Structure 1
Amino acid sequence: MKLTVVGGGSTYTPELVDGFARLRDTLPVEDLVLMDPAQDRLDLVGGLARRILARQGHPGRVTTTTDLDAAVDGADAVLLQLRVGGQAAREQDETWPLECGCVGQETTGAGGLAKALRTVPVVLGIADRVRRANPDAWIIDFTNPVGIVTRALLRAGHKAVGLCNVAIGLQRKFAALLGVAPADLHLDHVGLNHLTWETGVRLGGPEGEDVLPALLASHGDTIAADLRLPRALLDTLGVVPSYYLRYYYAHDAVVGELRTKPSRAAEVAAMERRLLAMYADPALDEKPDLLARRGGAYYSEAAVDLAAALLGGEGAPYQVVNTYNRGTLPFLPDDAVIEVQAAVGPKGASPLAVSPPDPLYAGLMAGVTAYEDLALEAALHGGRDRVFRALLSHPLVGQYAQAEQLTDRLIAHNREHLTWA
């Protein structure tokens, strides 16, 4: 089996490789290709990847290349984990929205739109080359904003599934609180990428006992502290929102916080410099503890399960993925991309049935879905008016004056990545 990672020079990659090494029986990777335009990062990450496999006795071969066509030739699956513009662009995404009184964040709001505009055309170009190299290859997208990027891939007819680590992270946290194995917990996870709610936590599978009420009663304070939301809000909701919902439920407080501290992009950039220095050490043959603070926890386990299931292996039968709605949430279009539990196999992902969401969540899902539709149109066709319409529609913007200001700033900060600007 050949698996290619586009964006293989990312500091995330050793997390992924560690998963491939530990879970070799689930996903027997023989050829792992790390592709990245940055040769210097590839040299460091590739060297560590080989040492991780060797330490764990994995027989697979690691190849590094800056040649995309060579990387995807004959690949059974291609994982996308790229960042167009790097951390410098992320720093901007997290900064200029604050000047307009809006959240500065890399995947949602105005910053998320900027990332989508930079990313969608690049990802579609990569996907076209994957399809030419091997029409049967699966594309697994971990590149944010996952919902919009996955929708672009699916609309273009690519064999693609979107992946996020929020659900698996919550599953692991809940399992630890309950003292059970993660595999014993099934989450009733519903929403859009980075806009999700856990409406049930079931023991043993989709039809198992729902222990969410007991979980909130016994561990609500701990969960609320992790989410940085009031315990009273969780009690009122009766569900567990993802931590990205804090940008909506506490928008003004978050803006105030972000204006008084260094950006997350600056923190990550400093962390990446330290990680790359560690990766250069020829004695290092395991992922360093610092990597856990970089983000992407459990990404490797989710990616292994997903790739294995898509390729006909022993991946978990039910997984949280991003895929077409297809009537699962009847208040959304069939071609909206939702993030829910799905049955995954060689034919793709089929969402499981979900209970009708509370209007409190359904309304926000519908609003953000409309934004994502406008955002994708802006990413595909460009134009100031399309950017403005997407921003005006976003629940985190929604005001004419702010949308005007944000539109001008977005275009000014991203001209080098926007062919139409």
Structure 2
Amino acid sequence: MKLVILGGGGFRVPLVYRALLADRSPGRVTEVVLHDLDASRLAAIGGVLAELAADISDAPSVTTSTDLDEALRGADFVFSAIRVGGLAGRAADERVAAGCGVLGQETVGAGGVAYGLRTVPVAIDIARRISVHAPDAWVINFTNPAGMVTEAMSAHLGNRVIGICDSPVGLGRRVARAVGVELEDAWLDYAGLNHLGWLRGIHVQGRDLLPDLLSDAGRLESFEEGKLFGAEWLRTLGAIPNEYLHYYYFNREAVEAGASRGAFLLEQQKQFYAAPSYESWDRTRLEREQTYMAETRDEERDNDDLDGGGYEQIALALMHAIASDKRATLILNVPNRTTLSCLDADAIVEVPSLVDANGARPVAVSQVPDEGVGLVTALKVVERATIRAAISGERAHAVKALALHPLVASVNVARKIVDAHPFLAEVFRS
């Protein structure tokens, strides 16, 4: 199979290639094409992949290209992991939002809207070109904001674009460990949007183990989300939220903490790309994982949490299920259909989905908690307003998308963000 990775010069690409090297399944990926607009980054990551494959005789071949149409031809799968504006764009999102007194995290709040505004037009163009040059390819979208971008691309690719995120699986893995079971033996009852979901149950042999966990403060606070939210709040919710909900439940504290991860990663990766090697990549990767959401914690991350959910393994499992028509259940970003009653059929939601050769279909889950319905519906409105603004280029719609976000909640602040942001001010002029 041929896999095309968009954003092929990105820092996390070696994680995907490392998973492909370990894959011995029939019908595995044999050809990888890295596409990126930055030839120097492509060369850097290509060198790291060559080191990884040095002693593996049947490693998937790797080629690089800055020509998107050329890269796409003959693709079986396209993995989209682009970052429009690079880390400099993320740093600007955070800086401008903080200057206006609101959260700037890259997928949450003003930062997420700004990221979406510059990403959606590029993602739509990519979707159109895939439909022309690789009409039979399946697209796996990891580009953030993942739910919003997947919904924008689905207008052109239909159900052939599927969004993935490693946060729900990372949460599931930590909860499974806390209750003493293997994740593979459990079914996760999870519902919401990307970076806005709740684990409502963890079922093993017909029994939900979550109530017992919620009643045991010691076990509950033994893993990342328990430490992040606290046992008392999780018991009040009767569910375990995705870690990104910390930015909603503790928004004032998050704003005061003044997270500036974009600037940190920008400087960190400058050092890696200046002298790339597998050793420097792995060292930088570990530091990146150790500092993930550091502003929300009073202590270092537990070693058991550093691997997160393994988005590369999710992508691999998704590709195998489709290519081999081998059924699998994965938490994915897919059209809602009738799964969540608070949203329409076309809304992209993040829920357990059954995957086979026909793609991914959501399965029945518990509904979003009552106190989460308002957030989910409001954020879906924001996502769609952002898509509309990105397509139209109209300032009024960009202001609307920002102002309607619960973590901005001000027309005047939204206007200030648009006017102060170097990208938004240029594109969305008065």
Calculate the TM-score normalised by the size of structure 2.
Answer: 0.89
Question: CA contact under 8 A between 2:395 and 2:428: conserved in structure 1?
Answer: no
Q: Residues 119, 335 of structure 1: CA spacing in aligned structure 2 closer, same or farther, 3 A cutoff?
A: same
Question: 1 CA distance for matches of 2:19 and 2:7?
Answer: 17
Letter in 1 for 2:167: V
Structure 1, residues 189-237: CA drift from partner, whole Å, max 9, x if none? 1100110111111225xxx321112233252112366662232111111
For the 8 Å contact 2:321–2:328, the answer to whether it is kept is yes
Q: Counterpart of 1:414?
A: 424
- How far, CA to CA, are the matches of 1:29 and 1:279 in structure 2? 25
Q: 116-125 or 355-364, which moves further after superposition?
A: 355-364
Q: 1:394 to 1:273 in 2, by over 3 A?
A: same
1:109 aligns with 2:119: no
Corresponding residue for residue 212 of structure 1: 210
Contact in 1 for aligned 2:398/2:428 (Cα 8 Å):
no
SS of equivalent residue, structure 1 residue 330: coil
CA deviation after TM superposition for structure 1 residue 43, in Å: 1.2
1:406 deviates by 2.4
Q: Tell me if structure 1 keeps the 8 A contact 2:189–2:201.
A: yes
Q: Please, which runs of 5 or more residues in structure 2 have no aligned partner?
A: 290-306
Whether the 8 Å contact between 2:33 and 2:64 is mirrored in structure 1 is: yes
What is the distance in 1 between the residues matched to 2:28 and 2:19? 11
In the TM superposition, 1:315-330 aligns within 5 A as: 317-330=328-341
Q: How do residues 26-41 of structure 1 correspond to structure 2 at under 5 angstroms?
A: 28-41=28-41
Aligned partners of 1:340 and 1:293: how far apart in 2?
Answer: 30
Q: Kindly indicate whether the alpha-carbon contact (under 8 Å) linking 1:50 and 1:61 is maintained by their aligned counterparts in 2.
A: no
Letter of the 2:241 counterpart: P
Tell me how far 1:27 sits from its aligned partner.
6.0
Distance in 1 of aligned mates of 2:244 and 2:83: 20
Matched, 1:268 2:278: no
In structure 2, what is the equivalent of residue 145 of structure 1?
145
Q: Which blocks of at least 5 consecutive residues in structure 1 are unaligned?
A: none
Whether 1:9 aligns to 2:32 is no
Q: How does 1:47-66 map to 2 (within 5 A)?
A: 47-66=47-66
Contact 1:247–1:254 under 8 Å retained in 2: yes
Residue 135 of structure 2 aligns to a residue whose secondary structure is: coil
In the TM superposition, residue 99 of structure 1 has moved relative to its aligned partner by: 1.7
Q: Secondary structure at the match of 1:378?
A: helix
Contact 1:224-1:234 within 8 A present in 2 as well: no
Deviation at 1:174, TM superposition (A): 2.3
The AA in structure 1 aligned to 2:137 is A
1:15 touches 1:287 (CA, 8 Å); kept in 2?
no
Write out per-residue CA displacement over residues 316-355 of structure 1, whole angstroms, 9 at most, x where no aligned residue: 6100110111111122111111000000122221100112
Change (3 A) 1:147 1:225: closer
* CA deviation vs aligned residue, 1:243-273 (integer Å, no higher than 9, x gap): 1101110111110001xx6x10122123323
> Match for 1:358: what amino acid?
P
Structure 1 residue 280 and structure 2 residue 277: aligned? Answer: yes
Q: Give, as a single letter, the amino acid of the residue that structure 1 aligns with 2:208.
A: D
- Letter paired with 1:271: Q
Choose the corresponding residue for 2:314, options 287, 302, 306: 302
CA gap of 1:118–1:26, structure 2 versus 1, over 3 A, is farther
Q: Distance in 1 between matches of 2:36 and 2:243?
A: 30
Letter in 1 for 2:265: V
Amino acid at match of 1:359: D
- Aligned partner of 1:169 in structure 2 is 170
Count of aligned residue pairs for this structure pair: 409
Aligned to 2:83: 83
**CA RMSD for the aligned pairs?**
2.2
Partners of 2:411 and 2:220 in 1: how far apart? 38
Contact 2:272/2:281 (8 A) holds in 1: no
